[in-house]
Every structure is written in C-alpha cells, then in structure tokens.
C-alpha cells in the first residue's frame, strides 16, 4: 500500500494545488518513484489511498501500465486509519506500506526485497526500514527509534538522542491492526503496542534516502541527484 492521502502542509506552497506525492523529483513524481520500486520488487497488487486533490492521484495511477487500486478518503484517516480501511483489499498475508513521499536509492540490493527477506511473521508484527540520522541532510530532531542488537526497536526516552529515523517503508502483518480504533489515527499508536510486545523491529537502509519535508529539501535532493554525488557515496 502507498499512503498518498496527506495534505502536505509543510511542503506549501508547492502543495497548494498538487498533492505532495505528485511533486516531481528527477523527472518523475514521488508516487511514480515509489510505485516503480514496488513493481521492481515483484509486488503485483497495490492500493493507493487519496484525499488531497484525489482526482490527480487517480489520474496519475490510471496512467500507469499496471494501474494500482485507488481508495479515496472523504476524510483524512491518517497513516493508521488509511491502512485499516484498506485491509479488505490487502489480503491476509504480511504486506508492504510505503509513504507516498518516501524517496530512496537502493544499495547493493533492493530495499523492499531486503525487508521481505528479513521479515519473520513468527516474531514480528512490523519491520521498519530505518536510516542512520548521521547521513540524513536536513532536520530530523532527536531521531525516531532506538534499536537493540537483535533488531528490536523502541521509541527514545526523554533526553535520549536516537541514531535512527524512519524511512517511510515497512512490512507489517495484519495482526498489527487488530482492534484498531475507528476514525483517523496514526500508525504510531499500533507501533507502541508492538514495542511493548517486543514485536516491532528495524532494518537499517544500506543506500541513500532523502528527507523531503519542505520545499528546500526537494531542491537539495534534486541538486544531489543531478551531481551524481549521492550514488558515488553509497
């Protein structure tokens, strides 16, 4: 599933007439980049949710050779509610969830395939792709997660500085969404429960990843890709 229903408020004015996932980077929309990587990993059934300028997202999806299913949200359901509403379309097996504004370059192997190979449904409800904060250009605050030697992750405590940020790509088991609340809610609510049960894990990305929050981030990413320095670094 690709989450493409957000309002993209921090990316204004670029998102005043365009949904954030349809902003262009290196000649293609962020949504197309995500869908390209999903297709390259061999995933055939894809759901994209849409709200902000939903008709633009629908048109972009329809223009692809293999159009994904678009699930329009009348009210933004946030990251957790969006996936919850799509569960009937996603089946009973573990599935991939990608933020519609996530942009990354694969390392020696495809990040999605690395996640799939590492996911163990016997002990995991979720496996998150993480990026080392030190290699991220842009403001990432105190980071998102701590990780132990076995790969289990947790949120940083007060005054802790986390070395990892979430890359916007994860594999989850439907079990993660059991007893989900009604209405809009964020996935963090379910992640915290999985952390308590020691069933949330992380995998560190071995390629490049771009923090795309504000218009300046998009310009910096465009410059970095144009120079080719990012690929040389990784």
| pLDDT at residue 21, rounded to an integer | 95
- CATH number for the domain running over 2-233: 3.90.550.10
| pLDDT at residue 161, rounded to an integer | 84
Residue 234 pLDDT level (bands cut at 50, 70, 90): very low
Q: Is the pLDDT of residue 208 over 60?
A: yes
d(CA 166, CA 147): 12
Q: What is the pLDDT of residues 4-61, one digit of tens each?
A: 998 888 889 989 999 999 999 989 999 999 999 999 999 989 999 999 999 999 999 9
110, 41 contact by CB (below 8 A): yes
User: How many CB atoms neighbour CB 44 within 10 A?
Assistant: 8
Task: Provide the residue ranges of all domains of the chain, joining segments of one domain with +.
Answer: 2-233
Residue 232 pLDDT level (bands cut at 50, 70, 90): very low
Residue 171 pLDDT level (bands cut at 50, 70, 90): very high
Q: Is the pLDDT of residue 118 over 70?
A: yes
d(CA 193, CA 200): 9
| pLDDT at residue 141, rounded to an integer | 66
Q: Which of 80, 98, 100 is nearest to 177 (CA)?
A: 80
d(CA 192, CA 172): 14
d(CA 69, CA 89): 9
| pLDDT at residue 138, rounded to an integer | 60
Q: Count CA atoms within 13 Å of residue 9 on its CB side.
A: 0
pTM above 0.85, yes or no: yes
Cα–Cα separations (whole angstroms), residue 162 to 151, 186, 196: 14, 20, 18
């Amino acid at each position: 599933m690709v989450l493409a229903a957000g309002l993209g408020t921090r990316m204004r004015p670029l998102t005043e007439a365009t949904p954030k996932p349809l902003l262009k980077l290196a000649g293609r929309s962020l949504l197309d980049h995500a869908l390209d990587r999903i297709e390259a990993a061999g995933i055939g059934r894809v759901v994209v949710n849409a709200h902000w300028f939903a008709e633009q997202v629908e048109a972009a999806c329809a223009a692809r050779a293999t159009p994904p299913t678009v699930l329009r949200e009348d009210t933004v359901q946030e990251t957790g509610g969006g996936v919850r509403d799509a569960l009937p379309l996603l089946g009973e097996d573990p599935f991939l969830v990608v933020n519609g504004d996530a942009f990354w370059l694969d390392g020696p192997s495809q990040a999605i395939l690395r996640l799939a190979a590492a996911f163990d449904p016997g002990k995991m409800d979720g496996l998150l792709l993480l990026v080392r904060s030190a290699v991220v250009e842009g403001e990432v605050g105190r980071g998102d997660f701590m990780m132990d030697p076995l790969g289990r992750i947790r949120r940083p405590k007060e005054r802790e500085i986390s070395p990892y940020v979430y890359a916007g790509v994860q594999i989850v088991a439907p079990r993660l969404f059991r007893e989900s609340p009604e209405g809009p809610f964020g996935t963090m609510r379910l992640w915290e429960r999985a952390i308590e049960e020691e069933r949330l894990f992380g995998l560190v990305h071995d390629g490049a990843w771009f923090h795309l929050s504000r218009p300046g981030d998009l310009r910096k990413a465009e410059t970095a890709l144009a120079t080719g320095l990012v690929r040389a670094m990784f």
